[in-house]
């Protein structure tokens, strides 16, 4: 009961909202991991590999993964 004596409004988010918040946090986390990999792998691990199998291939695969990730997220959007 609140001070006016009536029942409080529902202050808890529904399960759909909670699921969206969790998904949102997961996607933000995925973005942070992607950015970290973008810097760590080329400059810290394979930067000196002077072939197309080095940073070139890494960035192509990294981007493909990011694009697939984005498709997975926005495929769930609905009208």
Question: Rule CB under 8 A: which residues touch other proteins?
Answer: 14, 16-17, 20, 23-24, 27-28, 30-31, 34, 38-39, 42-43, 47-52, 54-56, 59-60, 62-64, 66-67, 69-71, 73-79
| Nearer Cβ to other proteins (5/48) | 48
Taking residue 55's Cβ as centre, other Cβ atoms within 10 Å add up to: 19
| Nearer Cβ to other proteins (12/74) | 74
Return d(Cα 79, Cα 70) in angstroms, integer.
18
Nearest in space to 61 (alpha carbons), one of 78, 77, 79, 46: 46
């Amino acid at each position: 009961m609140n001070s006016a004596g009536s029942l409080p409004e529902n202050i808890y988010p529904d399960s759909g909202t909670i699921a969206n918040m969790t998904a949102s946090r997961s996607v933000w986390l995925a973005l942070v991991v992607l950015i970290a990999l973008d810097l760590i792998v080329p400059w810290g691990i394979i930067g000196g590999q002077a072939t197309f199998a080095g940073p070139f291939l890494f960035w192509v695969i990294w981007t493909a993964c990011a694009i697939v990730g984005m498709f997975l997220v926005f495929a769930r959007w609905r009208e």
